[in-house]
């Protein structure tokens, strides 16, 4: 279900800081019309740590309403309190989410056994939903080791991992350890082709917020073994992939989307607008890519 390119959706806010529901609906429709393979609301790119509980549920609800079963919705459900993650997971399951993307507990830095027990508890609580583990040590302070992923892959409804370590060697080891049926997805746009060459099944993308059709094409080409076509897309848009991380995600991608006329340039504290220098660089990259005048 979760292969190809999934978009880690931004959460649009109005200038007053409130959730911009009409814009969210437009963004979801744009993604589906562009041929994206699945949608991922309320992840890191969706500023989930700053969403109130009701807002989190509302973002997923709107995404499901607009997706209308045309594409799967992999809803974000992570945190450092296992009981709270389970409660959220149950709510999302009841709403009709197609799966959960669950980031590793952060700040409290659990051991590998702690990570295993955390995901086991979540999987048992939401047996009807497939779960994708999200490993991103740069943000959480904890890495899901390949040996732990091998154990997790033995749990029926843990079906994959968003691997955002940036470590190609680790990704290769993960693919060596887990069964072929376990979906290993890139968490970094620029690593998607490399991971696909090792046996990865796709990407959960930031840049597809800006260029959904192009990233869907890249992911499809990788799955088809047409790496020349995939490289052509990457060569054109690598500067955009990189500039999206010139400051903390999702500051740059939302700035770029605002320049493209897709949303209001609004973030929630502690995120702030990009610096003038970063904004100028983002604008330059968009112009060079032909995305704005």
Q: Is 162 annotated in the active site?
A: yes
**In the chain, beta strands by DSSP E:** 4-8, 38-40, 74-76, 99-103, 131-135, 158-163, 183-186, 202-205
Q: What is the rounded distance in angstroms from the CA atom of residue 67 to the CA atom of residue 160?
A: 22
Concatenated DSSP letters for 175-205? HHHS-TTSEEEESSGGGHHHHHHHT--EEEE
Give the C-alpha distances (Å, rounded to integers) separating 138 from 73, 106, 143, 158: 25, 10, 9, 23
Q: Which candidate, 204, 154, 156, places its Cα nearest to that of 179?
A: 154
Which among 3, 60, 5, 2 has a CA at the least distance from the CA of 32?
A: 5
DSSP state of 273: P
Nearest Cα to 56, choosing from 37, 78, 34, 80?
78
Q: Look up residue 188 and give its two tokens.
A: 């970094």
Q: Could you tell me which residues are beta bridge partners of residue 30? A: none
Least Cα distance to 103 among 63, 131, 126, 123 occurs for 131
Evaluate whether 74 touches 133 at the Cβ level (below 8 Å).
no
Catalytic residue among 162, 217, 254, 281: 162
DSSP SS3 for 134: strand
Annotated catalytic residue: which of 119, 134, 217, 254? 134
DSSP letter at 105 equals P
Annotation marks residue 107 as catalytic:
no
Catalytic residues: 134, 162
């Amino acid at each position: 279900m979760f292969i190809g390119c999934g978009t880690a959706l931004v959460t649009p806010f109005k200038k007053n800081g409130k959730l911009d529901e009409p814009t969210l609906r437009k963004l979801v429709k744009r993604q589906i019309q562009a041929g994206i393979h699945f949608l991922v609301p309320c992840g890191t790119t969706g500023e989930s740590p700053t969403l109130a509980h009701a807002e989190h549920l509302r973002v997923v609800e709107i995404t499901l309403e607009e997706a209308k079963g045309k594409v799967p919705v992999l809803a974000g459900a992570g945190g450092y309190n296992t009981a709270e993650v389970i409660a959220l997971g149950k709510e999302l399951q009841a709403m009709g989410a197609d799966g959960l993307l669950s980031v590793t507990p952060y700040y409290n830095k659990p051991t590998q056994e702690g990570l295993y027990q955390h995901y086991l508890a979540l999987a048992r609580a939401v047996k009807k939903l497939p779960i994708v583990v999200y490993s991103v040590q740069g943000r959480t302070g904890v890495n899901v080791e390949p040996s732990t992923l091998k154990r997790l892959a033995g749990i029926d409804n843990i079906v994959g991992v968003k691997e955002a370590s940036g470590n190609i060697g680790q990704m290769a080891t993960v693919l060596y350890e887990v069964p072929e049926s376990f979906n290993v997805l890139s968490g970094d746009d620029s690593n998607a082709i490399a991971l696909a060459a090792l046996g990865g099944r796709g990407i959960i993308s930031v840049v597809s917020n800006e260029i959904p059709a192009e990233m869907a094409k890249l992911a499809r080409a990788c799955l088809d073994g047409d790496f020349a076509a995939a490289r052509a897309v990457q060569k054109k848009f690598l500067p955009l992939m990189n500039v999206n991380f010139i400051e903390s995600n999702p500051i740059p991608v939302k700035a770029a989307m605002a320049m493209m006329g897709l949303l209001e340039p609004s973030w929630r504290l502690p995120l702030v607008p990009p610096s003038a220098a970063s904004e100028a660089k983002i604008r330059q990259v968009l112009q060079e890519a032909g995305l704005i005048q």
